[in-house]
Amino acid sequence: MNKITALVFFSCLTALSLRADVLFQDSTNYPYTNGCIEGQGQWYCYSPRIPVLDALVTNNILILNSTNTDSVGTPTNGWVNPGEFNYASFTINVSQLPATANGGYFCEFMDNSNNNVCHIFIDTIGTVVPGTYRLGIANFAGTFNSTQPPINYPLDLATGVTYNVVFLYDTNQDNPTFVGGTLWINPSEQDYDNVVDENGVGYVYGNDITALQNLLNINISQIGFSPYISAGISNVIVGTSFDNVNSTNLPVMGIQPQSGTNYSGNNTTLYSAASGVDLTYQWYSSVGGMLSDDGVNIIGSTSNVLVLNNLSGSANYYVVATDAYGKTATSATATNTVITTPTTPFFTFTRVNLTNNLFASTGFTNVAEGTGPLFYQWFFAPTNTPTTFTQLVGQTSSSLVIPQLAYAQGGSYFVSASNAVFGGSITAGPTNSISVIAPVVATLPQLHTLMAAITNQIIPGYNKTIYVNSNNVTVSGYVSSFGATTATTTKYSEFYIQNGASGIEVFYSGAGITNTAVPPPGSYVTVSGPCEVFDCELEITPTTNILNAIVTNTAVPVGIPAPQLGNFNQLVTNPFGQSGITADCSLVTFTNMYIYAESNTAPYGIENITNYNGGIWKSNNYSQIYMTQGLYDPIANTNIMELYVPAYLGSALTNLWNQSIPTYCYQLTGIWENYKGTAELEVTRYQDFVTNAPPSFAASVTKTSGGAATIGWSAQPGSTYSVYSATNLLGPWIQTFGLAYYPSTGAYTDTNSSQVKFYRVSTP
């Protein structure tokens, strides 16, 4: 069903009447004006901060389209829920499958301060019927890398068909298993009772429950929809009970069984997918009428997928779907034509030549025709010996999957098909090929230049992934963060590397991955993977489980990058200006810093602070507070920036646990980030909060026979130093090195010699 047809179907839905315990209802009878929905009723744009006004409504249907930008929510004033339960529902009609198997979230439930408590995802992971999608739920999570999150509802959904999605958010369940979100699709009253009875039928619940009390204890007061999906949304309802928000529709057949031609002795599969409440299926054929219970030759006679094994003759098939109320939908009739003439195997596919990046997933599918049963065997010849084919042990299906392509797997592939016709027949399929591309080698400044070129996409696109280069990129740099920034119990690691003034975040995940895989600070590493901007932050994401994509180059001298001296006001007032992009993900040192609990409070230690455990860093969590350069001006409010400090159990950051939050820092060094378009400094060790001026120190100068001069001094942990030079004692003085950073040895070699030269070492 195309998008226009879907809209007409939506406009025919009947709105529920408003009840006393319905907290919010965006009825399809609401008199919207076709066009931009923002500002109509209580709809508003919550992302980006400056709306593009491209969230559209047509015939009272909110149109989501991945080519648009604005994420919209309603209501703006929230609602007051008298109980502990938050129920919500909406109807959805998807017009196009997600571009990738992982898809993404399109709906989020929030409190009145835009704190996300749950996301609803769309993806194609786990689908059985071709051309369908699934919806899933994930508490407090907005992205996923493999199959978790979301927790998918086990029902294949068809495009062009309307489904009723019902959601429960409960922060105080008697059974802690169900604390958080629960999701139903086209539910019955019995499905709701199953949650109470805990027998697990007719619902799914998110199991990545947060430990943050401020999230567990909030009530949903807003629902937001993001344009990461092509679909129509309607009939948004919020209430205090399941019955307030649940509605039912007559069953509709969304995927029809397809006719086809096969050869005797082979297998075939017929698919169907209907919408409806607690559907049951029954298949019928023109030969045997209602198909009997599953046996050797017929599997799935009472499900939406029918498998016919060892075909012997032609027949017509159709399926009837019945909902919980006895209403039915009957599919079209599919004709399965079976050719009984003995036929040797043959292929109708032509040669396929693939070009793939290293570490990518790839493969071929070559299905043969002919009298069955058919048997397959794949063969391979590497590029350097293209005519010497060997048998690939265990590859005996019509499909060959190579999950993580290596250089040695480049070459030629073919599959043979055989059967027992005429005493045994065998045929070779077309010879396919795979060419393996070496990852693109780039410098960090080049990646930042590419990032600057797509600034117009980044500014309105936080919470989106924007690829700077979707092919694998190989880049090298010094590890510039100290220890892990995540808990060891998570399945991902992140750290930062830097070359010169440019940095990048390295993020990788997968089963068995923890933050213990983070290289030590100062080590020089080479990383391969796609380069992207996520939440406005430049990052490189090695393929899951490809740990050899991160190589430590021990031959290169170890050294911590020199931080940049931060121009605080410029970075905050223009976070996506050229200076902000240049400094993204790199070390920056600020001076004369005050730290605050909130943007409108006095510094820590000046008043009685109750937030963040009374002025100490949180244990086993992160602290996200504020800082300013110079004295705080509550009226101008132009120089406030977020300060993010992680301190997780089992990580290398335990020296931050329960440490006092300083009121004032003479110097503060950390990773500068454009996190969601907001200026943020991430500090990963306690030594970088330098609260006093470094003590006096002595500097020395030694000169080599070649004319180079080495300047040395005693460095204090966490402090930064600059080296200035001049050919005249009165100046002008030029900064030739900055900033030396502990654990640097406090040494700088100047190869730009002159007959007379003076040096000065100072803190910023």
- For the chain, how many residues are written? 764
Number of Cβ within a 10 Å radius of residue 199: 9
Over residues 453-465, the mean pLDDT reads 68
Tell me the β-bridge partners of 495. 506
Residue 43: the pLDDT is 86
637-666 average pLDDT score: 70
- Which runs of consecutive H residues, i.e. helices, occur in 559-663? 568-573, 578-583, 611-615
pLDDT tens digit sequence for 72-127: 988 766 676 666 667 889 999 999 999 888 888 899 887 766 667 788 999 999 99
Per-residue pLDDT reduced to its tens digit, 332-364: 999 999 999 999 999 998 999 999 876 677 999
**What residues contact residue 535 under an 8 Å CB cut-off, 6+ apart?**
462, 463, 675, 676
What is the pLDDT at residue 285?
95
Alpha-carbon span 278 to 468, nearest angstrom:
45
pLDDT at 15 over 50: no
Residue 509's pLDDT is: 74
Contacting residues for 304 by C-beta, under 8 A, at least 6 apart: 129, 156, 271, 272, 273, 274, 279, 281, 319, 321
pLDDT for res 258: 97
CB neighbour list of residue 203: distance below 8 Å, 6 or more residues apart: 153, 182, 183, 184, 187, 191, 192, 194, 195
- Residue 198's pLDDT is what? 74
Position 612 scores a pLDDT of 44
Angstrom distance (rounded) from CA 242 to CA 686: 49
Beta strand extents in 264-327 (DSSP E only): 268-271, 273-275, 280-285, 289-290, 298-299, 305-308, 315-322
Phi and psi dihedrals of 265, rounded to 5?
90, -10
Q: What average pLDDT score do residues 175-188 get?
A: 81
> What is the topology classification, in CATH, of domain 252-339?
Immunoglobulin-like (2.60.40)
Q: Which residue has the higher pLDDT, 688 or 437?
A: 688
Look up residue 701 and give its amino acid.
V
Helix (H) or strand (E) holding 748: strand 747-750
Residue 515 DSSP SS3: helix
What's the per-residue H, E or C state across 81-144? CCCCEEEEEEEEEEEECCCCCCCEEEEEEECCCCCEEEEEEEECCCCCCCCEEEEEEEECCCCC
CA nearest to 332, candidates 395, 266, 271: 271
Q: Is the previous residue joined to 743 through a cis bond, with omega within 30 degrees of 0? A: yes
Going by C-alpha positions, the residue among 318, 253, 263, 328 that lies closest to residue 286 is: 318
- pLDDT for residue 596 is more than 90: no
DSSP 17-81: PP-TTEEEEE-TTS-PPSEE-TTSTT-EEEESSS-----EEETTEEEE-TT---EEEE-SS----
Residue ranges covered by each domain of the chain: 3-245, 252-339, 353-437, 440-552, 564-690, 699-762
* Rounded distance between C-alpha atoms, residue 363 and residue 365, angstroms: 7
What pLDDT score does 410 carry?
92
First to last CA, the chain: 65
The residue with tokens 């493969």 is: 363
Residue 340 and residue 454 in contact, taking contact as beta carbons nearer than 8 Å: no
Range from 72-76, 654-658, 726-730 carrying the lowest mean pLDDT: 654-658
Equal CATH topology for 252-339 and 699-762 = yes
CATH fold, domain 353-437, is Immunoglobulin-like (2.60.40)
Ramachandran assignment for 125, one of left (phi > 0), alpha (psi -120 to 50 degrees), beta (any other): beta
DSSP 242: H
pLDDT band (50, 70, 90) for residue 188: very high
- Per-residue pLDDT of 305-329, as tens digits, reads 999 999 999 999 999 999 999 999 9
Q: Residue 89 pairs with which residues in a beta bridge?
A: 166, 237
**Residue 257 has which token pair?**
């069984």
Side-chain-side CA neighbours of 202 within 13 Å: the count stands at 21
* Euclidean distance between CA atoms 181 and 183, whole angstroms: 7
Task: Give the model's pLDDT for residue 422.
Answer: 93
pLDDT greater at residue 542 or residue 227: 227
- In this structure, how many other beta carbons lie within 10 angstroms of the beta carbon of residue 82? 9
Q: Find all residues with CB under 8 Å of 610, minimum gap 6, and list them.
A: none
3-state secondary structure of 446: helix
Q: Please give the residue that has the higher pLDDT: either 735 or 426.
A: 426
Considering only residues 680 and 160, tell me which one the structure prediction assigns the higher pLDDT. Answer: 160
pLDDT-derived band at 676, boundaries 50, 70, 90:
confident
pLDDT of residue 419: 97
SS3 1: coil
Contacts of 651 (CB under 8 A, 6+ apart): 483, 484, 485, 486, 487, 488, 515
CA dihedral of 628, 629, 634, 639, whole degrees rounded to 10: -80
Query: Taking all residues of the chain, what is their mean pLDDT, rounded to a whole number?
Result: 80
Residue 10 DSSP class: H
> Residue 607's pLDDT is what?
38
Mean pLDDT of 699-727: 81
Position 629: which residue type?
Answer: Q
Q: What is the DSSP letter of 325?
A: T
Q: What is the per-residue pLDDT for 403?
A: 77
Question: Rounded mean pLDDT of 250-273?
Answer: 96
The band of 215, judged by pLDDT with boundaries at 50, 70 and 90, is: low
8 A C-beta contact, residue 62 and residue 11:
no
pTM strictly above 0.85:
no
**What does the pLDDT read at residue 744?**
62
205 touches 136 (CB < 8 A): no
Of the chain, the percentage scoring pLDDT greater than 70 comes to 77
Smallest CA-to-CA distance from 282 within 265, 262, 304 is with: 304
Separation between Cα atoms, residue 107 and residue 167, nearest integer Å: 11
The 10s digit of each residue's pLDDT in 26-62 is 765 456 789 998 888 888 888 887 889 999 999 889 9
User: Which pLDDT score, from 0 to 100, does residue 646 have?
Assistant: 77
196, containing H or E segment: helix 189-197
Instruction: Compute the half-sphere exposure of residue 762: CA atoms within 13 Å on the CB side of its CA.
Output: 9
CATH fold, domain 440-552, is OB fold (Dihydrolipoamide Acetyltransferase, E2P) (2.40.50)
Domain 699-762 has CATH 2.40.50: no
Percentage helix, strand, coil for the chain under 3-state DSSP, each rounded to 5: 10, 40, 50
Strand 664-675 versus strand 699-703 pairing type: unpaired
Position 663 scores a pLDDT of 81
Residue 343 pLDDT? 97
The pLDDT value recorded for residue 350 is 92
| Pick from 676, 511, 646: nearest CA to 142 | 676
Distance CA 18, CA 34 (A): 23
Confidence of residue 228 (pLDDT cuts 50, 70, 90): confident
Residue 711 CB partners (closer than 8 Å, separation 6+): 699, 700, 701, 723, 737, 747, 748, 749, 750, 759, 761
CA dihedral 178, 184, 189, 193 (to 10 degrees): -20
Distance of alpha carbon 543 from alpha carbon 465, whole angstroms: 15
318 vs 237, more confident? 318
pLDDT higher than threshold 90 for residue 170: no
Query: Please, where are the H alpha helices in 501-567?
Result: none
* Confidence at residue 636, expressed as pLDDT on a 0 to 100 scale: 56
Query: What pLDDT is attached to residue 145?
Result: 57
Output the 3-class SS for 341-402. Answer: CCCCCECCCCCCEEEEECCCCEEEECCCECCCCCEEEEEEEECCCCCCCEECCCCCCCEEEE
The CATH number that domain 3-245 falls under is: 2.60.120.200
Q: Pick the range with the lowest mean pLDDT from 178-182, 270-274, 595-599, 629-633.
A: 629-633
Q: Which amino acid is at 439?
A: P
Give tens-digit pLDDT for 538-591: 888 876 544 555 666 655 555 677 788 877 666 666 566 666 777 889 888 888
Buried b (16+ CB within 10 A) or exposed e, 492-508: bbbbbbbbebbbbbbbb
pLDDT band at 379 (very low <50, low <70, confident <90, very high): very high
Whole-number pLDDT of residue 559 = 65
Neighbours of 674 (CB within 10 A): 25
